[in-house]
A and B are shown apart, each in its own frame.
Chain A
Amino acid sequence: MSRRLALVIVVVLASAGTAQAQYLLAPMDGEQSNHLRAYGLAYWVLGRGERVEWLLNYRAGSFLLPDAAEVRREAALRGVSVEPVGASRLAAIRAEIDGSNMEAVVLEKAPRIAVYTPPGSQPWDDAVTLALSYAGIEYEELWDPEVLGGELGRYDWLHLHHEDFTGQYSKFYLTYAGAAWLQEEVSRNRRVARAFGLPDSPSLKKAVAVKIREYVDGGGFLFAMCTATETIDLALAALGVDIAASYADGDAVEVDASARLNWESTFAFEGAAVFAEPALSAFSDIDGHLVNTPMRQPLGTFRLFDFSATIDPVATMLTQNHERVIRDFYGLTTSYRRSHLKPSVTVLAEEPGAPWVKYLHGNHGDGTWTFLGGHDPEDPQHVIGDPPTDLDLYPHSPGYRLILNNVLFPAAKKRHLKT
C-alpha cells in the first residue's frame, strides 16, 4: 500500500513539476493504487463532456484521459495513480495496441444510470450502489411506480440486484415472518400493487419484468446481479402460470407449473424447474449453489474468459481485470447451471469443471443484458444483518471491477456496442 501511495505521490509531484502532457494514463494493472476509483475518475471526465479512451487489454484495461489541472486534482483527491503521456509515449502505446490483442475504445458520454431499488435503501444494501458510491459515480433510484410509469426511457443503464421478480419476497416470508424489514417490504409491495390495479405482489413484479424487457428491447443496457437475474427470467417465463407460494398470492403454485413455463421471451435461461416448496429459500434449479438449502454447494473460484478485443470488444470490455481468477461469492442466486443457458448466451466467466457458470452476457432486441451471480464480491458468505462492506478496504477488488466495467460499457461509441 505504501509503495502504491508513494507511486501516486511521485507521479503527481513529477507531473506537477513538468510541462503539461497531452494525456494522463490511469493504469489498471498492479501499479494502480485505487482500481475502483479509477472508473469514477473516467466517469467524471466523461461528465465534463470530454472523451476518454478505454485501452482494452493494455495494462489490464487502462484509461487514457485528457491532461488538465482539474483532472490531476481529481485524481489526487481520489487517490488514483495517473502517469503523464507525451506524444512519443502515446505513439508507442498505440503501436503496442495495434500489434496485440488490444483495442482502444472511445468513451464519449457519461451514461445516465438508474438503480432499481425500494425507496429508503442505503447504498450499502447493494453491491452496485456500494461500488457507484465509492467510485463517486452518480445514479438515480427508481422502483416499481417509476418503472410502470414509463420512466425507464430516461436512462441508458439499469441495474437490478436482489429483487425477487417472482413476487415471493425472496422466499423469506416464512423464515423472517416477524422481521420489521420484511413486514415493511410486504406492505410496500401490496400498496403499490393496489395502486396499479394489480391483485398481488407476483402480478406486480411480472408487470415490472415485462417493462424491463421492453426497455432492453428498445436499446437499454441491463445489468443484474444475485436474485434479480434468476427471478426476472422466471417471471417472464411464467406470465400465464402461477409459480408463487400461497402466502404471496393466496393460492398454491400450479401443479405442473414448471412444465408450463414459456422461455421464449426470457433473457438467459430455459428449461428450468421452479421449487414450489414455500419454506425452501430458493427459486429454481437455475442456481448451481442453492446457498440457503440443504443442497448448498461450496464456493470455488471462477475464471474470466479471454476474448478478441478487436472482434469482440463488448465481451472484452466486460471482462477487463487485473486478475483473471476470482474468488467466488454467494448470493441467493450465486451461479447458473450450464444446462439451463440459452444457446445465444455468451459466457464471460465460469468455474472450470463445475456444472455452473458465473457471468453472462447477451443481446435482446436492440439492447443488451449482463448477469453476474452472487451478492457481494467482497463478502463471500453474505448473510442478512452483516455489516456493510467498506470498499476502502478493497480498492483493488477484481469482483467489483466487473461491476464497474458494466457501468462504463454503455459510454462506448455505438460502433463498439454490438457484436
Chain B
Amino acid sequence: MARRLALGMTAWLLLAPGAAAQTDEQRQQFREEMRRIESLERVGQLSDAQAALDELLLEWPAEPSAVATAVRIYRRQGTLRNVLPVLERAVKVAPTSPALRQLQFGVLVDLGAKAQLREAGEAWLAEAPRSEAAYREYGIALRREGSLVETERVLRRGLDSVEDPTTLASELADIYLQQRRWALAADLWIVILDFSPRVGRDVVGYKLDTLGPAARPAAGALLARLADGGPAEQRELAAIAALYAGLPEVARRKAQALADELEGRERQEFLARFSEVATDLAQPALLDWAYREMLGSLAADTSRWEVARRIVEYDLSVGDTAAAEGTLDDFVERADAGTPTHRWASALLIRIRAAAGHADARDMLEDYARIYEDDDEFPSLVSVVAHASLQRGQPEEAARVLELVSDAGADPTVATTFMLTGALLAFYGGDYEEARLGFEVAAARLSGAARAEALRTLGFLRHGSAAELRAAAAAHRRNLEEGPLEAHDELVRGLQRATPSPARPALLLWAGELAIAGNALDGAETVLGRLGERYPESGEAPVAMMMLAEALALNGRRAEAIALLEELIIEYPESALTPIGRRRLAELREEVPRS
C-alpha cells in the first residue's frame, strides 16, 4: 500500500514539468473543476460527472487524478470498457507514467482483456526498458490475472535489465514463497544480498520475520546458499536464518563466531538484533547466550544490571533455577550491599533457595534483615521461607522463621502463614479444635492449591472422628516428609481402626488420590471402589469414578475406563462432572481429537 502511494507521488513528480507549463490560474481552475466533478459523483449524478470529466480530459488528458476519477465513474456505471480510450490517450501523452500505466493495467485485468494487457505491458517495457516500475507493475498485473508463469518471465526480464535488482527480486521471491518454492526464493534473496549486503540483511530479515510457519523451510533454503565467509551482514543473516530454520546450535555457532570478531557498538547491535529474533522464536537458551555476551562487555552500570536481570528472568522462566542462582550469586557478590540491585538479587535468591528446600534460606533471611532493616518485602520473604518449611512437613522450623518478624499479625501474608503454621502444629499435635479455627481463618486468606488443601483438611476437622483425624494428621505429615504412597498406606491403616464418620467418603477419596499420585493403581481401585459401594449418595462418589477412570485410562486400561465413565454419566446425570465425563468418553472412543 505504502509502495503504491509512493508510486503515485512519483507519478505526480514525473508529470510536474508538463504541469509547470500550465499557468497557476489554469491549475487552480483544474482543481476547482475536479472538486465539482467529485461532488457530482458523491451525490450519484454520474452521467453529469462523466460529461464534465470528458471535457476536462480534453485539456488534461494525462492528469492521473482526472484519469483515476474517470476509471471510478465508468466502473460505477458498469461501463468500464468505455474508459479504455481515455487510458490509451493518457498513456500516449505520458507513456512512462507509472500511475497511468497502473490504472490502465488494473482496468485491463478487471475486463479480462488478456491480449490488450500484454500489448500495453510490452509497450511500456519498450518505452522504458530499464524502468524497475515498468517490470514491477506489469508483473503485478499479470499476477492478479493469475498468469504466474508470465509474471515470472517478466520479472526475470526486469532483473536482467535494471540496475538495482532489490525490488524485482523481492517481488519475484514473494511469488515463489507463495508457491512454497523455497529454493527459488532463496536464490533471489542471494541476488539482493550480493548487490547490497546491508539492504539484503534488512529485507530478507524482515521477510523471514513476517513469513510465519513458512519461514522455516525458506530459511533452510537460504542457509544452504550462504557461504561461511563474506561480509558481516551476510554472516549475521546466516545466524538468523539458522534460527528461523530451527537449527539453534548452528545459529549459536555462527553467532558466536561473528560476535568474536565484531567490536564495540557493532557487536552490541548485532547481539541485540539476534536476541530479538531469539525472543520471537522462543529460544531462551540463545537469548540467554546473547544476553551473557552482552553482559560481558557492558560496564557495571544500570544497563548491565538490566541485562543480568533479564538473564535471571529467562532462566527462571525455563525452570533453570541453578543457572539463575549462579547469576544471582555473582550479582550479590559484585553489587554493593544496600543498593537496590543488591537488595533485589538477595531477595530473589532467598525465594529461589526456599523453594528449592535449601536449609541456608533462614540464614540468608537473617543477613537480609540486618542490611535491609525496614524493607517492605521482608515480611513476604519470611512468609515464603516459613511456607517452604511447611511444605517439607516442618511446622516447628516454620514457627522459628516466623519469629524473625516482630509483629506477625501486622502483615497479611505473614499472618496467613502464621495462622497456617499454628493450625498444622495443632493438627499434628492432636488439638483439633485449635486446628479447625486456624484452618478456617487461613483458608479464607489463601488461594489456589493451598486454599483447596486447607479446605479439605478443614472438612476432615469438621466432620471426622478423633481416630480418623489422628490417621489423617499422620498421613498429612508423611505425605510431606516421605511421599504419597507412604501417606496412603498410613491413612488406610489408620482408617481401618476408626469408626466411620460423615468425613469418611472425603477421607477415602483422599486416600485414592494419594494412591494414584504414588502410582499404586491397585490401592486406588480398592479404596475408590469401596467409596462408590458404601457411599454412593455422597458428593465424592462421582469424583472418585472420574478420578479412577482417568487413572485407568492413563495406565492403558481403556475399556475399564470407558465402562466407568458410562456408569458416571448414567448414575450421576446431575453431577457437574458428567459433561467432563462425556468428553473423556468421546476421547477414549476416538470420536474427537484428543485435547
Min CB distance A31 to B, Å, is: 17
Answer whether A277 and B573 are a contact pair too, CB < 8 Å, given A174-B181, A390-B593, A392-B592. Answer: no
Min CB distance B108 to A, Å, is: 15
Q: Decide: B592 and A390 in contact? CB cutoff 8 A.
A: yes
Q: Which of A79, A133, A390 contacts B579, CB < 8 Å?
A: A79
Complex Cα distance, B148 from A124, in Å, reads 33
Min CB distance B44 to A, Å, is: 21
A47 at the interface (CB under 8 A from B): no
Q: Which of A76, A124, A135 contacts B569, CB < 8 Å?
A: A76
Q: Decide: A280 and B566 in contact? CB cutoff 8 A.
A: no
Could you tell me which residues of chain B, from 581 to 595, have a CB within 8 Å of some CB in chain A? 582-583, 585-586, 589-593, 595
B147 at the interface (CB under 8 A from A): yes
Answer whether A9 and B146 are a contact pair too, CB < 8 Å, given A79-B582, A279-B179. Answer: no
Min CB distance A278 to B, Å, is: 8
Could you tell me which residues of chain A, from 392 to 418, have a CB within 8 Å of some CB in chain B? 392
Q: Decide: A134 and B582 in contact? CB cutoff 8 A.
A: no
Q: Decide: A133 and B590 in contact? CB cutoff 8 A.
A: yes
User: What are 15 A-B interface contacts by the 8 Å CB criterion?
Assistant: A12-B573, A76-B573, A77-B570, A133-B590, A133-B591, A134-B592, A277-B148, A280-B148, A294-B145, A385-B213, A388-B593, A390-B592, A390-B593, A392-B583, A392-B592
Contact with B along A1-24 (1 / 0, CB 8 A): 000010011001100000000000
Question: What is the count of residue pairs linking A and B with beta-carbon distances less than 8 angstroms?
Answer: 71
Q: Which of A13, A177, A277, A388 contacts B181, CB < 8 Å?
A: A177
Complex Cα distance, B181 from A174, in Å, reads 7
Q: Decide: B146 and A277 in contact? CB cutoff 8 A.
A: yes
Complex Cα distance, B593 from A388, in Å, reads 7
Q: Which of A133, A175, A387, A389 contacts B179, CB < 8 Å?
A: A175
Q: Decide: A277 and B147 in contact? CB cutoff 8 A.
A: yes
Residues of A close to B566: CB separation below 8 A: 77
Min CB distance B8 to A, Å, is: 22
Q: Decide: A174 and B149 in contact? CB cutoff 8 A.
A: no
Q: Looking at B149, B583, B589, B593, which has the most chain A CB atoms within 10 Å of its CB?
A: B593
Residues of A close to B582: CB separation below 8 A: 77-79
Of all A-B residue pairs in the complex, the 9 with the closest CB atoms, nearest first, are: A175-B180, A388-B593, A175-B179, A9-B573, A279-B148, A133-B591, A392-B592, A294-B144, A134-B591
A295 at the interface (CB under 8 A from B): yes
Q: Decide: A73 and B591 in contact? CB cutoff 8 A.
A: no
Residues of A close to B146: CB separation below 8 A: 275, 277, 280, 293-295
B182 at the interface (CB under 8 A from A): yes
A136 at the interface (CB under 8 A from B): yes
Answer whether A9 and B574 are a contact pair too, CB < 8 Å, given A279-B179, A390-B593. Answer: yes
Complex Cα distance, B413 from A282, in Å, reads 65
Answer whether A77 and B569 are a contact pair too, CB < 8 Å, given A134-B586, A134-B591. Answer: yes
A196 at the interface (CB under 8 A from B): no
Contact with A along B133-148 (1 / 0, CB 8 A): 0000000000111111
B205 at the interface (CB under 8 A from A): no
**A-B contact sample (6 more), CB < 8 A, given A76-B573, A294-B145:** A9-B573, A123-B590, A177-B181, A277-B147, A389-B593, A392-B592
B217 at the interface (CB under 8 A from A): yes
A176 at the interface (CB under 8 A from B): yes
Chain A minimum-CB-distance residue to B573: A9
A391 at the interface (CB under 8 A from B): yes
Min CB distance A157 to B, Å, is: 19
Complex Cα distance, B592 from A135, in Å, reads 10
A178 at the interface (CB under 8 A from B): yes
Residues of B close to A135: CB separation below 8 A: 591
Chain B minimum-CB-distance residue to A290: B146
Residues of A close to B592: CB separation below 8 A: 133-134, 390-392
Residues of A close to B570: CB separation below 8 A: 73, 76-77
Q: Decide: B149 and A277 in contact? CB cutoff 8 A.
A: yes
Answer whether A392 and B573 are a contact pair too, CB < 8 Å, given A133-B592, A174-B179, A177-B181. Answer: no
Q: Decide: A77 and B180 in contact? CB cutoff 8 A.
A: no
Chain A: how many interface residues by the 8 Å CB criterion?
Answer: 35
Complex Cα distance, B168 from A239, in Å, reads 42
Complex Cα distance, B578 from A79, in Å, reads 9
Residues of B close to A390: CB separation below 8 A: 592-593, 595
Could you tell me which residues of chain A, from 141 to 176, have a CB within 8 Å of some CB in chain B? 174-176
Q: Decide: B217 and A178 in contact? CB cutoff 8 A.
A: yes
Chain A minimum-CB-distance residue to B152: A279
Residues of B close to A387: CB separation below 8 A: 593
Complex Cα distance, B563 from A77, in Å, reads 11
Min CB distance B486 to A, Å, is: 39
Q: Which residues of A contact B (CB under 8 A)?
A: 5, 8-9, 12-13, 73, 76-79, 123-124, 133-136, 174-178, 275, 277, 279-280, 293-295, 385, 387-392
Min CB distance B106 to A, Å, is: 13
Q: Decide: A136 and B145 in contact? CB cutoff 8 A.
A: no
Min CB distance A312 to B, Å, is: 33
Complex Cα distance, B569 from A134, in Å, reads 18
Min CB distance A257 to B, Å, is: 17
Complex Cα distance, B141 from A51, in Å, reads 61
Min CB distance A247 to B, Å, is: 13
Min CB distance A62 to B, Å, is: 22
Residues of A close to B143: CB separation below 8 A: 294
Min CB distance B180 to A, Å, is: 4
Residues of A close to B573: CB separation below 8 A: 8-9, 12-13, 76
Min CB distance A121 to B, Å, is: 14
Complex Cα distance, B589 from A5, in Å, reads 21
Complex Cα distance, B582 from A8, in Å, reads 13
Q: Looking at B566, B573, B589, which has the most chain A CB atoms within 10 Å of its CB?
A: B573
Complex Cα distance, B152 from A277, in Å, reads 13
Residues of B close to A385: CB separation below 8 A: 213
Q: Decide: A77 and B583 in contact? CB cutoff 8 A.
A: no
Min CB distance B592 to A, Å, is: 5
Chain A minimum-CB-distance residue to B147: A277
Complex Cα distance, B145 from A293, in Å, reads 9
Chain B minimum-CB-distance residue to A11: B573
Chain B minimum-CB-distance residue to A8: B573
Complex Cα distance, B570 from A125, in Å, reads 32
Residues of B close to A123: CB separation below 8 A: 590
Chain B minimum-CB-distance residue to A137: B591
Min CB distance B168 to A, Å, is: 18
Residues of A close to B181: CB separation below 8 A: 174-175, 177
Q: Decide: B593 and A77 in contact? CB cutoff 8 A.
A: no
Complex Cα distance, B585 from A277, in Å, reads 48
Q: Looking at B145, B146, B590, which has the most chain A CB atoms within 10 Å of its CB?
A: B146
Min CB distance B211 to A, Å, is: 14
Min CB distance B21 to A, Å, is: 40
Complex Cα distance, B592 from A79, in Å, reads 14
Chain B minimum-CB-distance residue to A79: B582
Min CB distance B583 to A, Å, is: 6
Q: Which of B180, B578, B586, B590 contacts A176, CB < 8 Å?
A: B180
Residues of A close to B589: CB separation below 8 A: 136
Chain B minimum-CB-distance residue to A172: B180
Residues of A close to B585: CB separation below 8 A: 77
Complex Cα distance, B180 from A390, in Å, reads 28
Q: Looking at A79, A280, A294, A389, which has the most chain B CB atoms within 10 Å of its CB?
A: A294
Complex Cα distance, B578 from A294, in Å, reads 49
Min CB distance A211 to B, Å, is: 30
Complex Cα distance, B213 from A244, in Å, reads 30
Min CB distance A285 to B, Å, is: 11
Residues of A close to B217: CB separation below 8 A: 178
Could you tell me which residues of chain B, from 234 to 277, have a CB within 8 Å of some CB in chain A? none
Q: Which of A124, A178, A294 contacts B593, CB < 8 Å?
A: A124
Residues of A close to B148: CB separation below 8 A: 277, 279-280
Residues of B close to A133: CB separation below 8 A: 590-592
